[in-house]
Amino acid sequence: MLRFDELLDPEIIEPTDAIIAPIAATTCDLDHLLIAGKAPFQGPFPLGHECVGKVVKVGVACQKYSIGDIVGLAWHIACGTCVQCHKNYPANCKPHWNSQYGLPAKGDWGGTFSDLVRVPYADYNLAKIPEGVDPIHVASIGDNLALGWESVMPSINGIEDPEIVIFGGSKSIGLYCVDVAANCANANTIYYDHNIERLEIAEKLGAEVRDQLPKRGSGDFNLAIDASGKAEMLRLALTSVEPEGQVNSVGIYFEDVALPMFQLYLRGVNFHNGKGHARPNMEPVLEAVSKGILHPELVTSGVYEWDEMPEVLSSGAARKPVFRRM
């Protein structure tokens, strides 16, 4: 069951903290599984880890932001200075591993579907929204949208005319990957899905779309992305790339999956699955949105008022709803 509860306002605790008031918040694809009881987390807990907010308080050591700034918030809690953060792996920040908003993880950080959110290490975990960018369009910047960039750009670095195949199924991440692949990587982008709405969006974003899965992986893509959460499509992604090609899976598999290990051995496949390291990927996405290169607004399924949140989310019908509180 989803509801708003009354809690005490969060306060500045450390001098590096800021407090933000979310003005546009949206669901991570994982939230739909949480709400439907299909993820192994027991409530009650504060929900939400994607938002753009307005800075309402800053600690004395917070140097980059001031009251009134409009900022995107990374979903993970990261110090910005440890060895993992320096490697651009803030989701695995050493002192704050497994700490985040909107899940019963390590620490009590609240959720972004709240009136106020305390942001530790605010200079690191916030990113300024550029002038002219509608906060509603980039409500997902702190997680799924940034993951679209992270899943594509570093993997095709140095490849001329990249060929990318994306196996869709997630409510938004696969589509953000399409947007980045087609419009930032300028890749020939093939998108598989069974869902007509998502196929239409992927086509608008610049992919060649297919509604029937191939019998086997073609073995000639530079990069395959599994955004399906389905073992069958993960296996297809793994056998779709050229020898020593890259496969990135953004799906969360709560159960073990059987993999075609001998085929992977013969081919040589580089496989990555893990949490998105949002923070370093937020600025390049925001820049591409402000230049009109990326179009995350096409992935948004509807814009709703803040108060409508429990009802809209409980219904399970909204694919990527954005809730506003201006």
Interacting residue ranges for Zn ion, rule: CB under 5 A: 28, 30, 78-79, 82, 85, 93, 143
Report, in Å, the least distance between residue 254 CB and Zn ion: 14
Report, in Å, the least distance between residue 78 CB and Zn ion: 5
Report, in Å, the least distance between residue 320 CB and Zn ion: 12
Phi, psi of 274 (to 5 degrees): 170, 175
The nearer residue to Zn ion, 290 or 301, going by C-beta atoms, is 301
The nearer residue to Zn ion, 78 or 288, going by C-beta atoms, is 78
CA 323 to CA 75: how far, in whole Å?
A: 17
Phi, psi of 312 (to 5 degrees): -65, -45
Report, in Å, the least distance between residue 268 CB and Zn ion: 31
The nearer residue to Zn ion, 142 or 217, going by C-beta atoms, is 142
The nearer residue to Zn ion, 28 or 309, going by C-beta atoms, is 28
Report, in Å, the least distance between residue 74 CB and Zn ion: 11
Report, in Å, the least distance between residue 230 CB and Zn ion: 18
The nearer residue to Zn ion, 28 or 286, going by C-beta atoms, is 28
Phi, psi of 226 (to 5 degrees): -100, 105
What angle do helix axes 144-152 and 173-183 make, rounded to 10 degrees?
50
Report, in Å, the least distance between residue 240 CB and Zn ion: 25
The nearer residue to Zn ion, 209 or 225, going by C-beta atoms, is 225
The nearer residue to Zn ion, 217 or 251, going by C-beta atoms, is 251
